[in-house]
């Protein structure tokens, strides 16, 4: 059983889904603190050849709240966000086939931040024909009072993991010996950020998965998911 555990992000870059494609069970944290400076509720699109940030506005809330206890702002204009994405990608070759799907995703009527994010991840998971199970962290019977590596190990043990795969950015956070002591192999995945045509401009890497979907057909994307990374 290969497992990954990640925070939820809004329409994240392709590396997030490459990780999904390499595991049997992908756990999404809901009972973890929301971090302001991360990518939980924002990402980047391509506009006139330049990266531009788009985001989900949040209702005011304590920094102590978990992601599952945060809410989208009451004045969040879903149609404005949809128009922003549409304007950015309306001339992209795959956008006509993407338009109705993207509309359903963005207009999803849910104000809880985690549930809105999880819905978007499930939608991309389905569109990319990924086969891993998506689990919510609080549904796993583990000690969620633990932190860091110990919490990851507890979730892995509860799921019967034999391999834990993390993005390469977590190399400094985890000790292979601690995982090996529990009979779990620790691996790190690094996306090679596949390049692809984005119109007349030079390629801009690591944009939202929407950029990948707008400019590439499914077989091309599946090839990126299967080969566009290395293990450390």
Position 63 scores a pLDDT of 82
The DSSP letter of residue 39 is: S
Residues of the chain with pLDDT under 70: none
Position 154 scores a pLDDT of 98
Identify the H or E element spanning 167.
strand 163-167
Note whether 173 and 17 are within 8 A (CB). no
CA dihedral in degrees (84, 89, 90, 95; nearest 10)? -120
Q: 114: closest CA among 142, 148, 137?
A: 137
Note whether 223 and 12 are within 8 A (CB). no
Position 59 scores a pLDDT of 97
Position 64 scores a pLDDT of 86
Q: 51: closest CA among 91, 103, 14, 88?
A: 88
Position 170 scores a pLDDT of 86
Q: 15: closest CA among 190, 219, 173?
A: 190
Position 94 scores a pLDDT of 98
Position 37 scores a pLDDT of 81
Note whether 168 and 147 are within 8 A (CB). no
- Delimit the domains of the chain by residue range: 2-231
Q: Give the percent of the chain with pLDDT over 70.
A: 100
Computed on alpha carbons and rounded to an integer, the radius of gyration of the chain in Å comes to: 18
């Amino acid at each position: 059983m290969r497992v990954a555990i990640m925070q939820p992000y809004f329409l994240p870059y392709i590396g997030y889904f490459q990780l999904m494609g390499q595991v049997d069970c992908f756990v999404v944290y809901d009972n973890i603190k929301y971090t302001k400076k991360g990518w939980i509720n924002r990402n980047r699109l391509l506009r006139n050849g330049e990266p531009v940030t788009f985001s989900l506005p949040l209702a005011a809330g304590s920094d102590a709240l978990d992601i599952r206890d945060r809410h989208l702002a009451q004045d969040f204009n879903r149609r404005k966000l949809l128009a922003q994405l549409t304007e950015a990608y309306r001339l992209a070759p795959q956008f006509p086939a993407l338009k109705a799907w993207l509309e359903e995703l963005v207009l999803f009527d849910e104000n809880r931040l985690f549930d809105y994010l999880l819905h978007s991840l499930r939608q991309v998971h389905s569109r990319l024909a990924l086969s891993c199970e998506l689990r919510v962290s609080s549904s796993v019977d583990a000690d969620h009072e633990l932190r860091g590596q110990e919490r990851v190990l507890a979730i892995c043990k509860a799921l019967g993991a034999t391999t834990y795969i993390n993005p390469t950015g977590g190399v400094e956070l985890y000790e292979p010996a601690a995982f090996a002591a529990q009979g779990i192999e620790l691996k790190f995945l690094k996306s090679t950020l596949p390049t692809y045509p984005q119109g007349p401009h030079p390629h801009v890497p690591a944009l939202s998965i929407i950029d990948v979907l707008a400019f590439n057909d499914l077989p091309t994307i599946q090839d990126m998911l299967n080969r566009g990374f290395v293990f450390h």
